[in-house]
Structure 1
Amino acid sequence: MPGALRAARHRTARWAPRTGLRWKLSIAIAAVGALVAVVLSLVVHNAARASMLDSSRDVQDERVLAAQRIYESLGRLPFGAEIDDPALPAPLAAAAARGERATYVAEEPGQALDVWAAAPLPDGRVLSLHTRFTDRYAVLADLDRVLVLGSAAVVLGGTVLGVLIGGQLSRRLRQAAAAAGRVAQGETRVRVREAIGGRVRDETDDLARAVDRMADALQQRLEAERRVTADIAHELRTPVTGLVTAAELLPPGRPTELVRDRAQALRTLVEEVLEVARLDGAAERAELQEVALGEFVTRRVRALAPEAELTVRRDAVVTTDPRRLERILGNLLVNAARHGRPPVEVTVDGRRLRVRDHGPGFPPVLLSGGPSRFRTGSTDRAGRGHGLGLTIAAGQARVLGARLTFRNAEPGGAVAVLWLPGSPPDTPHP
């Protein structure tokens, strides 16, 4: 069936991970902070290393020049200098052969820099010396550690900052979404801007004000439509009542029965339209009483649908409006009898009331969007009903603070479940 095929396609859709704005912003700030920290660390490391090499070369060049002067004047070798050192690097030997004084740096992984310096002597020999600058290597190692720690601190600080900023923004957006959801459920007094609060003004406030303006405009249109519907139904009530009374005075016969049936159907429609208009006005209040749900449902089912199969698994005492609860139960039973097939099963399980039939099930449009007035899901326009029964049931459930859900059972059948609240309507939950 199309509804089942659609649901199967929906279940097999590719799963997409959902991440909050807080973590997205934190990851972005941490990534940017890490990139900046790495680039700056590399720049500082290379600049410090180049400065250290230049300084070491200058020191070693001054030392070899001083050693050459001392050797030429006093004949001794200071600073550990040597003549024609066999370990002299080839580039230095080549420079000395050209009569140039030069320096050379030998680097080995994990070891201090070995800086050489060589100068040619007048007799053709080469005076050289080399020194490991362990102190400067230690300074460079300390600098690297400081850079690593500083980069980690930057990333950690950026992450914390992202969590704080993103958390505040995410909290405001969640509050706005929750307030918008309450408005969609019919709480017309809720305003998104008041719900998010805060002293800081940002784009979230602009979004909240836009949603509030849209909600006000929609509420005004809905209220105007409700008033028009209520006025029309109210004006029709008197002539329809007169029509029903006049039909009762007609002589017996098949035409009279048809007139009476259609007149009564029109009267029922007018009454249901008035009830829907009152429920849409959000002015209805429940008259609360304590009710033993199992006993209450048992009596009503025996009176409304004696052929239904009733099961009380677990009884419960609820605080609700018996008249509205009976209206919901009656509409669910009528819908099951009119659009489903027997057997109709009614089950009471604590505060949960379940009505199931074994017909074709609810249409997909009802499962996706909820009950809609003047839409029965039947393609036969000659069928009975105006699509108001489930609409009225859902509206009465809202007045009771209850939750009414609809689904299809396997292998077939429509299931309506009414979840009565643990606390009375209009009473804050703990």
Structure 2
Amino acid sequence: MRGYFRRLVAAYVDRVGIGTGLRWKLSAAIALVGALVAVALSLVVHNAARVSMLDNARDLADERVLIAQRNYELSGRLNFPNTRIDDPELPPELREKAEAGRRATYVVDRPGGSPDVWAAVPLKNGHVMSLHSGFTDRSSDILKDLDQALVIGSIAVVLGGSALGVLIGGHLSRRLRKAAAAAGRVAKGETDVRVRDAIGGVVRDETDDLASAVDAMADALRQRLEAERRVTADIAHELRTPVTGLLTAAELLPPGRPTELVLDRARAMRTLVEDVLEVARLDSASERAELQDILLGEFVARRVTTKNPDVTVRVVHESEVTTDPRRLERVLFNLLANAARHGRAPVEVTVEGRVVRVRDHGSGFPEGLLAEGPSRFRTGSADRAGRGHGLGLTIAAGQARVLGARLTFRNVRPPGAPEDAPAEGAVAVLWLPEHAPTNTGSYPVLAQ
């Protein structure tokens, strides 16, 4: 039941969009605790003050009834205000004690009004003398003033606690946000970022331990990735020489079908080695973009027409961009090769401002690629697997990062079709930046 209620509350919060930041959580918690403590203390103080005032009123009534008893026994008549003999309104509990020979006091609470204070004493003639008085106006005023002061104090405590919670929560929230931003920069490949230095601060708390742990984890992952990249690059580099020799030797073989097969496999192996080396260079985050100003639509149309005349190119809006033409061409050709290898004709390229779209009419990208992005040596689902090594889109994404661009993938479905409906094509979209790529981890070199 508790879990169901928690899920219900979480769903409601997500639906209405209520902010649940650390600052507001701490503020709400401190305000709630402050309110509970203030209410509890107010009730305790109010009851203690009321009991004390009632005790004083009962003591005063007891003293007055004693004075009235002495005066009655000396003079034989009642000469004290608010005293009566055998008062019919005397509370039964008090009457029983007086008839038993005991002097006593009694308080009767009246709904919505001040309490009544009774005092009774037995007389020598067997009658009961009683004194009836109410809670004095002065005592009522004091109690009301006390209640007002308690209410004001409680409100002040709640507001002060909320402000304190906002300050404390804001401090922690800022440190955590700085840590999250620094961790995000580390995730983007900035190797010189330290989360512990980013959060700053003089006071050491748990956020510093968290930042140190994140830095240690990032260092360990960086070392493992660098070792993996270095091993991959070394293997590919060592394979380049024998593969080149193999290709040269295969070209010397006599013409024939066996020779064509050997040449085809040797060329494929050389292409694979070159792709692996390129991936290793991109992973090292040391690539530099050589920037030039080009007309994007004209550049794409000329390159695509030269590469594959069957591809349809449409320039919706021309735009001048500052980018690296060689890397842009590499991204464009890899996207076209992926569309030709895994999709179906017709393949269409559209240029609109700084956005380049490459669409095929095949079965669409696999769900794993849409969810996680390109991954080396993984070609996707069965109908798009078995051909290639899964490096084309990985290289395209890496080169796009060097350009400061963003490469996205999606599938085309009929309007209103559910998510599980078969796709009618795959679309890769390259978003070129508005400014030169100076924040991508590379150091652009302007062409002279």
Instruction: Give the alignment's TM-score, normalised by structure 1.
Output: 0.90
Which residue in the other structure is 1:5 paired with? none
Q: What is the DSSP-based 3-state SS (H/G/I as helix, E as strand, rest coil) of the residue aligned with 2:350?
A: strand
Sort the Cα spacing of 1:163 and 1:348 in 2 relative to 1 into closer, same or farther, 3 A: same
Q: Which amino acid counterpart does residue 21 of structure 2 have in structure 1?
A: G
* Residues in 2 aligned to 1:147 and 1:313: alpha-carbon distance in whole angstroms: 72
C-alpha RMSD over aligned residues: 2.3
Which residue in the other structure is 2:48 paired with? 47
Q: What is the DSSP-based 3-state SS (H/G/I as helix, E as strand, rest coil) of the residue aligned with 2:309?
A: coil
Which residue in the other structure is 1:9 paired with? none
Q: Which amino acid counterpart does residue 65 of structure 1 have in structure 2?
A: L
Q: Which amino acid counterpart does residue 422 of structure 1 have in structure 2?
A: E
Q: Which amino acid counterpart does residue 104 of structure 2 have in structure 1?
A: A
Which residue in the other structure is 1:178 paired with? 181
Per-residue CA distance 1:81-116 (angstroms, 9 max, x = gap): 333334333333333323332222121233122212
Structure 2 residue 92 is the aligned partner of structure 1 residue 93: no
Within 5 Å, give how 1:315-326 maps onto structure 2. Answer: 315-326=318-329
Verify the 8 A CA contact 2:179 2:198 in the aligned structure 1: yes
* Residues in 2 aligned to 1:15 and 1:85: alpha-carbon distance in whole angstroms: 64
Q: What is the DSSP-based 3-state SS (H/G/I as helix, E as strand, rest coil) of the residue aligned with 2:408?
A: strand
Which residue in the other structure is 2:431 paired with? 419
Which residue in the other structure is 2:112 paired with? 110
Per-residue CA distance 1:247-286 (angstroms, 9 max, x = gap): 3333322222212211211111111111111111111111
Which residue in the other structure is 2:412 paired with? 409
Taking every aligned residue pair, what percent have the same amino acid on both sides? 72
Q: What is the DSSP-based 3-state SS (H/G/I as helix, E as strand, rest coil) of the residue aligned with 1:376?
A: coil
Which residue in the other structure is 1:4 paired with? none
Within 5 Å, give how 1:16-415 maps onto structure 2. Answer: 17=14, 19-74=20-75, 75-132=77-134, 133-379=136-382, 383-410=386-413, 411-415=423-427
* Residues in 2 aligned to 1:81 and 1:315: alpha-carbon distance in whole angstroms: 107
* Residues in 1 aligned to 2:273 and 2:94: alpha-carbon distance in whole angstroms: 110
Q: Which amino acid counterpart does residue 126 of structure 1 have in structure 2?
A: V
Equivalent pairs, count:
416
Per-residue CA distance 1:363-404 (angstroms, 9 max, x = gap): 222222211111112548993311111111111111111111
Sort the Cα spacing of 1:381 and 1:136 in 2 relative to 1 into closer, same or farther, 3 A: closer
* Residues in 1 aligned to 2:71 and 2:309: alpha-carbon distance in whole angstroms: 125
Verify the 8 A CA contact 1:113 1:137 in the aligned structure 2: no
* Residues in 1 aligned to 2:283 and 2:223: alpha-carbon distance in whole angstroms: 12
Query: Offset at 1:294?
Result: 1.7
Q: Which amino acid counterpart does residue 247 of structure 1 have in structure 2?
A: A
Instruction: Give the alignment's TM-score, normalised by structure 2.
Output: 0.86
* Residues in 2 aligned to 1:379 and 1:83: alpha-carbon distance in whole angstroms: 108
* Residues in 1 aligned to 2:307 and 2:60: alpha-carbon distance in whole angstroms: 107
Query: Offset at 1:291?
Result: 2.1
Verify the 8 A CA contact 1:119 1:128 in the aligned structure 2: yes
Q: Which amino acid counterpart does residue 271 of structure 1 have in structure 2?
A: E
Verify the 8 A CA contact 1:104 1:116 in the aligned structure 2: yes
Sort the Cα spacing of 1:375 and 1:43 in 2 relative to 1 into closer, same or farther, 3 A: same
* Residues in 2 aligned to 1:162 and 1:304: alpha-carbon distance in whole angstroms: 63
Per-residue CA distance 1:23-53 (angstroms, 9 max, x = gap): 3322322232222222222222222222121
* Residues in 1 aligned to 2:33 and 2:249: alpha-carbon distance in whole angstroms: 83
Q: What is the DSSP-based 3-state SS (H/G/I as helix, E as strand, rest coil) of the residue aligned with 2:436?
A: coil
Q: What is the DSSP-based 3-state SS (H/G/I as helix, E as strand, rest coil) of the residue aligned with 2:272?
A: helix
Which residue in the other structure is 2:446 paired with? none
Q: What is the DSSP-based 3-state SS (H/G/I as helix, E as strand, rest coil) of the residue aligned with 2:438?
A: coil
* Residues in 2 aligned to 1:147 and 1:336: alpha-carbon distance in whole angstroms: 75
Q: What are the ranges of 5 or more consecutive residues in structure 1 without an aligned counterpart?
A: 1-12
